[in-house]
Amino acid sequence: MISNYPKGAFNAHWFNLFNALSFQIILGAPIIIYAKSIGASSTVLGIIAALTPLMTVLQLPAAQFLGRYGYKQFVLTGWALRTIFVFVVAAVPLMFFLDGASKLAVMLAALFAFNLLRGISSAAWMPWIAGLIPEEGRGRFLSLDQIFMHLGSLLALVASAILMSGDVESWEYALVFLLSAVAATSSLFFIRKIPDVTASEAMKNSSQSVPWLDILKYPPFLNLLIFNVVFMAVIGSLGVFTVEYLRELPDFSVDRVLYLSGLSYVGALISLPFVGRLLDSVGSKPVMFAALAMFGLVVIGWFLVAAGVLPASLAIIAALNFFVGVAGANFNLANVRIVMSTMPEMGRNHFFALFTVITSLGLGGAPIVWGVSLDMIGTYEAITGGLHWGRHSFYFAATFCLTMIALWLLGRLHEAKSGETASLLYARLRRSGKLWQR
């Protein structure tokens, strides 16, 4: 498949490696650990995790400008501007003249600006890749893309753990965030080398007036949307509050938590090479079912640890992180593939924007709601039938229930070829008399 890529398309993989190396630090465990070290509450940690998905609401107004400026220019400009604020975050730990609350405020402001620019520019990414890579090879392309992304994330966590071993000082946090800034800058080189896509007539028309309600009510799209919103309520917060939970245990230092978090990317890297071809042969839904079932078992494992049934041993936590990586990577790969096949060419920019905005509201709202809930539960504890109920055991029990709901909703999804989806949608809109203006 690599030899069949459009010329220059392989640079998308290198971009994702350096981009992941950057965002895994500035949006992942290292930034959560630093924020907690300067006094962030669970609510604030939830807000940090929510900024990225919530800012994708800007994809909706941004979609109308894609035909004017082009995908490549849109992404390149946004990514370049947002990199400036990664350097700002890198300077925050060195602001010795500020107290913890003030540093937190500056960091939140920089992360807000970073995610604002990312939210606008990311409107172009998925339509760009969907137009660049033929559908028959997307499973293998996306699996390789995920491998590069997870490799970048693993490198980010290993490098962060090495730099932040022992008692972490301010300059060590600054050095880790500087690594993120350098990686973000490096990723721009590869964006420039990815070929742009010339919009077809149907895609150009997607910047004109569109029947939003008919799009939203289209059954395959609506079912996929509901399914994703439910699951995003789980996945959007798990990475934040498992890190918080471990940091509250005496045996889990900063570097140990980072190494354990890195095991999720080891699990992803081991499993992804086998999934791409499987997706292209059996489709997305079987892979998603297996991934969700495994994810449910992982969440139950976290619950049993938090409830005191299983010990918080290094081996158990390592296994949970490893298998959540396997489940998460396979689910994401299959989910992206089914999303791409559901979005028709006609109005594709708006389909992607609407889908991403609504699911991201769930992805962003979840960590805030969970963070506020965890702070409200506070130090409350109870023991029933050998289960120790505290704020984190309540959280893991609730996320397991949501995972089971998502597993049930999976059966309602319709998986079709892009051409079939486009034909069905075209007929539906024609019957309603609401076609895009031409």
In a domain, 199, yes or no: no
In a domain, 197, yes or no: no
Task: Judge whether 242 and 318 are in contact, CB under 8 Å.
Answer: no
Q: Which residue type, as a one-letter code, is found at position 128?
A: W
Place of tokens 């919009």: 199
Show the CA angle centred on residue 220, arms to residues 204 and 342, nearest 5°: 45
In a domain, 285, yes or no: yes
CA nearest neighbour of 360 among 187, 89, 118 = 118
CB count, 10 Å around CB of 330?
27
Q: Is 166 left (phi over 0), alpha (psi -120 to 50) or beta?
A: left
d(CA 310, CA 245): 15
How many independent structural domains does the chain possess?
1
Strand partners, 382: 389
In a domain, 2, yes or no: no
In a domain, 87, yes or no: yes
pLDDT of residue 262: 87
Domain extent, residue 30, equals 11-191+205-432
pLDDT of residue 386: 79
CB count, 10 Å around CB of 94?
15
In a domain, 3, yes or no: no
In a domain, 298, yes or no: yes
Q: Which residue type, as a one-letter code, is found at position 400?
A: F
In a domain, 198, yes or no: no
d(CA 389, CA 32): 24
Q: pLDDT per position in the chain (438 positions), as tens? A: 444 667 778 888 899 999 999 988 998 889 998 998 898 888 888 898 888 888 877 877 776 777 677 788 888 888 899 999 999 999 999 999 898 899 999 999 999 999 999 888 887 777 787 777 776 666 677 778 888 988 998 899 899 989 888 788 899 999 999 999 999 999 999 988 888 876 554 445 444 555 667 777 777 788 888 898 888 888 877 888 888 888 888 888 888 888 888 898 898 888 877 776 677 677 788 888 989 999 999 999 999 999 989 998 999 999 999 999 899 888 888 888 888 777 766 666 667 767 877 887 887 888 888 888 888 888 888 888 778 888 888 999 999 999 999 999 988 887 665 445 444 444 444 444 443 333
Half-sphere exposure of 172 (CA within 13 A, CB side): 17
pLDDT of residue 318: 93
CATH code, domain with 400: 1.20.1250.20
pLDDT of residue 425: 46
Classify residue 182 by burial, with Cβ atoms within 10 Å: 0-12, 13-18, 19+: middle
